[in-house]
A and B are shown apart, each in its own frame.
Chain A
Amino acid sequence: MDSDEEDFVFYGTPIESEEGLASRKKKAIAESSGQLRTLPAWKQEVRDEEGRRRFHGAFTGGYSAGYYNTVGSKEGWTPQTFRSSRKNRAEFKEQNILNFLDEDEKAELEGRFLGTSSQFDTFGFTAAEIARKQAEKEQKQRPSAIPGPAPDELVQPATESIGVKLLLKMGWRRGRSIKDSHADALYDARRQARRAFLAFSSDDPEVKTTESEQNEGDVETFLEQSMDDVQSSKSTAVYKKRSRLSSKGGPGYSKNLSTRDSLFGLKSGKSAPGFGIGALEELDAEDEDVYATGYEFVDTYVEEDEEPSMLRLEYQKKKDQKKDNDNLPGFRVASSTDYQMERFEAPPIPKDFVPRHSFSGPLEINHKKYDVPPPDIPPPEDSNLKILIEGVANLVARSGKLYEDISREKNQSNPLFSFLSGGTGHDYYARKLWEAQQKCKDQTKPLLDGKVSSDVKRLTAESRGQILGEKPLERSSKDPSSSVDSADVQLQFNLTDTFTKSEPFSELPDVEKPFKHDPAKQERFEQFLKDKYRGGLRSTKSSLSGDMSEAARARERLDFEAAAEAILKGNQGKESKLAIPSSMDFVAGGLMQFTSGAEEPKKDMQSEDLSQKKMYPRREEFQWRPSPLLCKRFDLVDPYMGKPAPAPRIRSKLDSLIFTSHSVKGTEIEEPVLAKNISHVQQSADQDITKSTAESETEGDVEVENIERPVDLYKAIFSDDSDDEGEDPNLKKVENREKKAEVANTALSRLIAGDFLESLGKELGLEVPPDMPYPSQKSKNAASQEENVNEHARTDTLKGEHNSEMPSDQDTVFKGGPSKSDYVNMLESGSAKTNATGINDSKSSKSNGESYKDDIKIKSHLPREQDHSSGSSSEEERKRKRSGKSSRDKHEEHRKSKTPSTHRRDYSSDSLSEEESSRKRSRHHRHRRRTESDSSSDNERDRRGSRSKERKKGSSREKSSRSRKHSKHHKHRRH
């Protein structure tokens, strides 16, 4: 035999497992048949039906289960140390009996559970449970359209509950009501009402009639009884009608049917009256033919039934169906094929609908009041007041008159708000309010215009202009070349122009006319600009350039884009005249001379150039921290070698100016620290005085800021504040100290927030943090210099302003401190306004379009920014982005022209955001502060100061990225 095998060449490996299995089985059979019974007991082996040994080990006690000869885990008895860290939590393995069972035993155990025996199963719970399990098992075997476990609603107990049995014994029959069915007048009435409603609500008279007709047959005859039946059965809890089965078939419904097939198909004989799913039910299907199909698959009932009148119809239908198609037993396709999935048109929006809520009473009055625009009044001298007024006016215009009333009420005693009730500056306020309202209206109207213009006459624009008391419109007849209705268009333009006084692109009226030579084109350009920045529907009407070809229009559009961009850039650099003609050049150079735009005044160019040269280039310096590895690779000595944390940079004015809102003032945390440190010393002595003085001192600022407060507050409340959680433990330890400082900051900011915030907080049920010690300004024993510093720090905090004097102040405060190096480091740029956070911020406010957008909601200065949020990378989007930026720059210029004191106020939004963040943090760590606050040694103060710098950077970064989570990640990476 061996020699035989040698002659063969074998490919592959022989299948041995089967053989082994077979032999084992054989052995098992032999054993069971008693062949091995002759062996002594201690030689016998216990085997399962597949021939596997069941017991192993020294005393043959090792039970073959789980991990075969071990203790239920892979590791077995291998000694282990218990280890659990914050990141890797130790897992506690829960053992249950299933871990120790063989699969055959598991199978045995399956389905055995504690339950009420059917005898006592009054409400059918156990039966339902069994039915549910059954259904689940079936579903596992054949996956159905509905994923996941079968909903309870679908499965009903198969057995009859004792209640039903009792009722049956008492002579009750299915389909019969327990109470007198005819007495149920209430039900009749209700049904009538519902039908009436149905008829009323359905728009299509045909549908209505067909439906009702179709229903007529079975509903009338059959529904009454069946409904009663259901009612009665409800009382006995036999089966509950979970949802009604719609007789309507549809694409969705057929699926539904198949699902039920899988659930009930196998046990159709004993299936209980489950009902269809409500999810696919049509809204108005509620009342029609509800029970017609719901009952028919309950075979048991049909058998028992002795009342032919009830189900004759059903029988008939069923028979028909079975002829038609071999559907499921007990199911049928809907009889009425005239059903279509009803799709409802969106309800027609009333033409005068304004998509924003308006307060009914006061706002209307308001509108009327300002039908005639108030005279343009020079702003009050006090720039604070001016800003305040403008802010309030914007808010009021947005949120309605109610807001004005509220704020008037709240600030009755406040002299700053006297303009609300006719005091100083009221006229200016009125004017501003009117302007803001116009702007608001303008923003909503183009939306409507786009729609309405098609079917409503153009005259509406004119009449609207009249209503609004706009200046009379001049029809320009100087454009014979333009299309037919260009005059009309021009009209509209004039109208909108008058509305949008403060729109950025209309601020420089002569600049925005790059196509002066071609009025028609200029119009189109203006329209384009409006479409672009106003948001809303882009008008698809081609009437604007009716005589142009598609290609020409496309080209012109490109042209416009370029010009628009140039304008924006020009607004920024005051150089638009240069930019636009060259943009035209470009177009011309590319393919085709489209316009004669090249002939633009050259002298303008020169002058613009000069003005620009004055502004640019601007040089700024910041501190920057190269990574050690980069230094190594560049073969340079790390300038920060041995220094623990990246030194923060002082924010420069410029950055905060460009990116006005939501950028973070990193350095800000530091200043409260100073303030607090000093105040610590004096704290106990004159806390009360401090408080009162601080309050009185800050009040002026408070009022300015609290306009914008609510949004920040909401953020503070609702945004996730768990971002500090995942930090390195060692880092955290040090941070605690500075968090204390931040608590102080919080207190300050809370003061700043003013009564508006507080009241709002109370309304929202927020816990108002306990009062913190305030930096004492008017302390008696403070040295003059110290006081100076203190005051400075505080005012800075309050105003969120970081000017270049800061470094020197810090220097004085921290002189002699052990860890001065950081400061020196920071200051080594001399008087420079070195700033890390500035850069981060500037980046941030670009990158997080969302937060920027939020701000825009607050500040209405830049309404056009609103569509910059989504990060599409299309060219157009990009261009727009750029333009948005430039408008920001413009904004900045605007600010720069203000007095320094105004500057400070302008930063308020930034400081607010900072405060908000610190407040959040302080909520976390307030308790820590308590414990340590009394032990404020010099040393600690210094450390705190230095740590806060790091923290500062962190916090700025926290803001700087799109989402908090993301920023956390970011931070880690940087450290």
Chain B
Amino acid sequence: MSVEDLPRKEVNVLKGHEGAVLAARFNTDGNYCLSCGKDRTIRLWNPHRGIHIKTYKSHGREVRDVHVTSDNSKLCSCGGDRQIFYWDVATGRVIRKFRGHDGEVNAVKFNEYSSVVVSAGYDQSLRAWDCRSHSTESIQIIDSFSDSVMSLCLTKTEIIGGSVDGTVRTFDIRIGRETSDNLGQPVNCISMSNDGNCILAGCLDSALRLLDRSTGELLQEYKGHTNKSFKLDCCLTNSDAHVTAGSEDGYIYFWDLVDASVVSRFRAHNSVLDRRK
């Protein structure tokens, strides 16, 4: 993907939320998009046609993150009510509620087989919840973080969490090893490169840092945007050629992966934006 191919213009505006939108996530194939926000709802959209498909209401507080299984059949969401909701996409019913976090839940993800939901909470823990059994107890609590866990990534064998304590911790289930990379700055968002070799960590000092996963080496830093106090997402483009992140001034920034120059930026939102693909 060359620079020219980077998205520039707004294709559709998905209007409907009655409050701030806290997260927007595409599904696996990119045909649908889920958003959640302070109006305590999760909304399912067809972003390409700009249609609002469904609203999921049940959360008692703001919804902070949502994730959909790869087969598009289930949702999981979390938020300020300290619970993780496990939804059926089609009916819009809550299948299960997972309670156990002692604080707000910042992020949720399904694992590859959609059998486990992993959540990251303000209570400094990562928790894994079993979707297969009827138990609502967490099957694993990882509490080695020393501050709120903001974001997490899952691979086939690993759980990666980024925390305000400045660490990105990788928990390898296969060998039972925890690897902690201390970045020295509160980590806001982590995102994995598509080849799975790097981790992009958005820090609260207005910098994105690209880490080599195998060595923990800092490969590159991306600066220029503003991210001091909000949770903003960052990710790599599909080709891993560019790094992109939102800025608190409403811009979306694109950096070249290798030389860390700002390739493109455009104004997308009026105030604080959250996520794009």
Task: Name A residues whose Cβ lies closer than 8 Å to a Cβ of B.
Answer: 562, 569, 572-573, 575, 578-579, 582-583, 585-586, 589-590, 609, 612-613, 615-627, 629-631, 633-637, 639-640, 658-659, 829, 839-840, 842-843, 845-847, 873, 881-882, 885, 973
Contacts and interface: CB of A to CB of B under 8 A. Distances in A.
A846 B163 CA distance: 14
A274 to B, nearest CB: 53
A839 B178 contact: yes
Given A575-B205, A617-B209, A882-B164, A629 B130 contact: yes
A630 B228 contact: no
Given A583-B228, A589-B249, A630 B128 contact: yes
B185 interface: yes
B47 interface: no
A842 B115 contact: no
Contacts of B248: 586, 589-590
Contacts of A573: 184-185
B229 A586 contact: yes
Contact of A847 (B124, B142, B226): B124
Given A613-B218, A617-B211, A882-B186, A630 B205 contact: no
Given A586-B248, A636-B157, A625 B176 contact: yes
Interface of B: 103, 111-113, 115-116, 122, 124, 128, 130, 132, 139-147, 156-157, 164-166, 168, 171-186, 205-206, 209, 211, 215-218, 221, 226, 228-229, 248-249, 271
B116 A634 contact: yes
Contacts of A633: 111, 113, 115-116, 128, 130, 132, 139
B174 A636 contact: yes
A572 B184 contact: yes
A562 B130 contact: no
B147 A885 contact: yes
Nearest to A629: B139
A626 B175 CA distance: 9
Secondary structure at the B interface, as helix, strand, loop or mixed, is loop
B150 to A, nearest CB: 12
Contact of B146 (A621, A873, A885): A885
B211 to A, nearest CB: 6
A617 B142 contact: no
Given A582-B205, A634-B156, A619 B144 contact: no
A626 B171 contact: yes
8 contacts: A613-B218, A615-B184, A626-B176, A630-B140, A637-B174, A829-B177, A839-B144, A885-B165
A840 B173 contact: no
A782 B271 CA distance: 73
A639 B184 contact: no
B165 to A, nearest CB: 7
B129 to A, nearest CB: 10
B144 A639 contact: no
A885 B145 CA distance: 13
Given A616-B166, A846-B146, 11 more contacts: A582-B206, A586-B228, A586-B229, A589-B249, A622-B177, A622-B179, A624-B178, A629-B139, A633-B111, A882-B147, A885-B147
A639 B172 CA distance: 10
A726 B18 CA distance: 51
A617 B143 contact: no
A658 B180 CA distance: 14
Contacts of A634: 111-113, 115-116, 156-157, 173
Contacts of B184: 572-573, 612, 615-618
A417 B174 CA distance: 54
Contacts of B183: 616-617
Given A617-B218, A619-B215, A843 B176 contact: no
Contacts of B172: 624
Contacts of B185: 569, 573, 616
A622 B170 CA distance: 10
A623 B156 contact: no
Contacts of A882: 147, 164, 186
Nearest to A652: B180
A627 B139 contact: yes
Contacts of B116: 630, 633-634
Nearest to B175: A639
Contacts of A842: 144, 146
Contacts of B164: 882
Contact of B144 (A585, A829, A840, A885): A840
Contacts of B157: 634, 636
A675 B230 CA distance: 52
B177 A630 contact: no
A622 B178 contact: yes
B181 A569 contact: no
B139 A623 contact: no
Nearest to A558: B229
Contacts of A846: 124, 146-147, 165
A583 B103 CA distance: 27
Given A839-B144, A843-B124, A846-B147, A619 B177 contact: no
Nearest to B113: A635
B90 to A, nearest CB: 23
B226 A616 contact: no
Contacts of B228: 562, 582-583, 586
Most buried by A among B116, B140, B172: B140
Nearest to B143: A843
Contacts of B146: 658-659, 842-843, 845-846, 885
Nearest to A589: B249
Contacts of A843: 124, 143-146
Contacts of A619: 179-182, 215-216
Nearest to B116: A633
Top 7 nearest A-B pairs (CB, nearest first) are A619-B216, A839-B144, A624-B178, A639-B176, A616-B184, A589-B249, A622-B178
A873 B103 contact: yes
Contact of A624 (B122, B171, B205): B171
The interface centre, meaning the residue of A573, A616, A659, A845 with most chain B CB atoms within 10 A of its CB, is A616
B182 A618 contact: yes
Contacts of B226: 582, 585-586, 589
B181 A623 contact: no
Contact of B142 (A582, A609, A624, A629): A624
A19 B163 CA distance: 75
Contacts of B144: 622, 624, 839-840, 842-843
Contact of B177 (A578, A621, A631): A621
A630 B139 contact: yes
A625 B174 CA distance: 10
Contact of A621 (B132, B165, B178, B205): B178
Interface centre among B111, B178, B185 (most CB of A within 10 A): B178
B176 A579 contact: no
Nearest to B206: A582
A847 B165 CA distance: 13
Contact of B205 (A579, A589, A659): A579
A578 B115 CA distance: 44
Nearest to A574: B184
Nearest to B216: A619
A848 to B, nearest CB: 12
Contacts of A839: 144, 178, 180
A625 B140 CA distance: 9
Question: Which residue among B140, B147, B184, B248 has the maximum number of chain A CB atoms within 10 Å of its CB?
Answer: B184
Nearest to B182: A618
Given A573-B184, A629-B139, A847-B124, A623 B174 contact: no
A628 to B, nearest CB: 9
A573 B207 CA distance: 14
A85 B185 CA distance: 53
Contacts of B141: 973
Contacts of B140: 626-627, 629-630
A852 to B, nearest CB: 12
B246 to A, nearest CB: 13
Given A582-B226, A630-B116, A640 B176 contact: yes
